[in-house]
Amino acid sequence: MSSKKQVILVCSLILLWYSSNIGVLLLNKFLLSTYGFRFPIFLTMCHMSACAILSYISIVFLKFVPLQTLKSRNQFLKIATLSLVFCGSVVGGNISLRYLAVSFNQAVGATTPFFTAVFAYIMTLKRESWVTYAALVPVVTGVVIASGGEPGFHLFGFIVCISATAARAFKSVLQGILLSSDGEKLNSMNLLLYMSPIAVLVLLPATLVMEPNVVEVTVSLGKEHKYMWLLLALNSTMAYAANLSNFLVTKHTSALTLQVLGNAKGAVAVVISILLFRNPVTVMGIGGYSITVCGVIAYGEAKRRFK
């Protein structure tokens, strides 16, 4: 492939990654807090169902990557564990959107590197340089400042959001530990293919128990709002696109590039959410989030230089 075509391909993938990630975040917020669809567990199940179906189509029919088969019961248990943690992080993130503005949700989510460093040390005793740990100080400090300046601060929503962020970090560390064996390695798309159905099986009973009237309310909303089903289908498809584009951008660039893009994505999502949802912001809140973003950027640079 020529260098010009390669640049066009990478730019297209980055655009898809940006639009799908920000799109699914904003649609989640709209459905869960504005539209009256207050079923975060069922919404997550819709996402994972789409990921299962579209992963199968992408691998088996479109052949984006070769199909990898599971080699042992132990490998299946590892993937099931990852799926449970993944479910907890996604459901928690969706629940928090019912109570928190997207801007503040993104500020809290930016602390993922802090939790990743903590879990990596606890579980693997892996130590980073003191410069890397020092870069995490503004990450946490910024969220503390943003919390104090958040007009719509909600304690339960904040606790759930922090828990979801920690679960996401734990999942990353756990994935590195459990799937590090050369004989059991799966690429990201195949991992998503096997994780998604397990997630659906976990989320289905949770939905029936914790959101028993979901079918009745969803059908009612579908009759009341003619775009209800379209929004759900679009949201679920974008959730898969976010996962797929994440894999493809990493493949064609690097993990560090994805992290840098993620920092910018959070800032873009904050601006768009403020414009769309008109949630009030303060100078203190903006300042706190800016400090957090700068801390995440410094952390990524420290990891690159002092690894």
What is the spatial distance between Cα 246 and Cα 17, in angstroms, rounded to a whole number?
A: 6
Q: Give me the pLDDT at residue 9, please.
A: 83
User: Residue 20 contacts by C-beta under 8 Å, 6 or more apart in sequence?
Assistant: 238, 239, 241, 242, 245
What is the spatial distance between Cα 277 and Cα 49, in angstroms, rounded to a whole number?
A: 28
| Residue of 99, 20, 28 whose CA lies nearest to 279 | 99
Tokens of 145: 């400042």
pLDDT, averaged in runs of 10, over the chain (307 residues) = 77 86 88 84 94 94 90 86 89 88 81 82 78 80 77 87 89 72 74 92 93 91 86 92 79 60 68 74 80 79 72
Helix, strand or coil for residue 287? helix
The pTM is what?
A: 0.78
Q: Give me the pLDDT at residue 264, please.
A: 66
What is the spatial distance between Cα 191 and Cα 133, in angstroms, rounded to a whole number?
A: 30
What is the spatial distance between Cα 158 and Cα 154, in angstroms, rounded to a whole number?
A: 6
What is the spatial distance between Cα 94 and Cα 39, in angstroms, rounded to a whole number?
A: 9
Tokens of 219: 């059908």
| Residue of 15, 2, 7, 8 whose CA lies nearest to 265 | 15
What is the spatial distance between Cα 221 and Cα 253, in angstroms, rounded to a whole number?
A: 42
What dihedral angle (degrees, nearest 10) is formed by the CA atoms of 251, 88, 39, 22? Answer: -30
Handedness of CA 37, 39, 42, 46 (dihedral sign): positive
Q: Give me the pLDDT at residue 113, please.
A: 79
Question: What's the angle, vertex CA 238, arms to CA 256 and CA 33, rounded to 5?
Answer: 105
Rg (CA), the chain: 19
Q: Give me the pLDDT at residue 248, please.
A: 75
Q: What is the DSSP letter of 307?
A: -
Give residue 108's region: left, alpha or beta (phi > 0; psi -120 to 50).
alpha
What is the spatial distance between Cα 205 and Cα 6, in angstroms, rounded to a whole number?
A: 45
Helix, strand or coil for residue 281? coil
Helix (H) or strand (E) holding 241: helix 228-252
CA 7 to chain centre: 26
Q: Give me the pLDDT at residue 188, please.
A: 76
Q: Give me the pLDDT at residue 98, please.
A: 86
86 and 199 in contact (C-beta within 8 Å)? yes
User: Residue 215 contacts by C-beta under 8 Å, 6 or more apart in sequence?
Assistant: none
Residue holding tokens 């990557």? 65
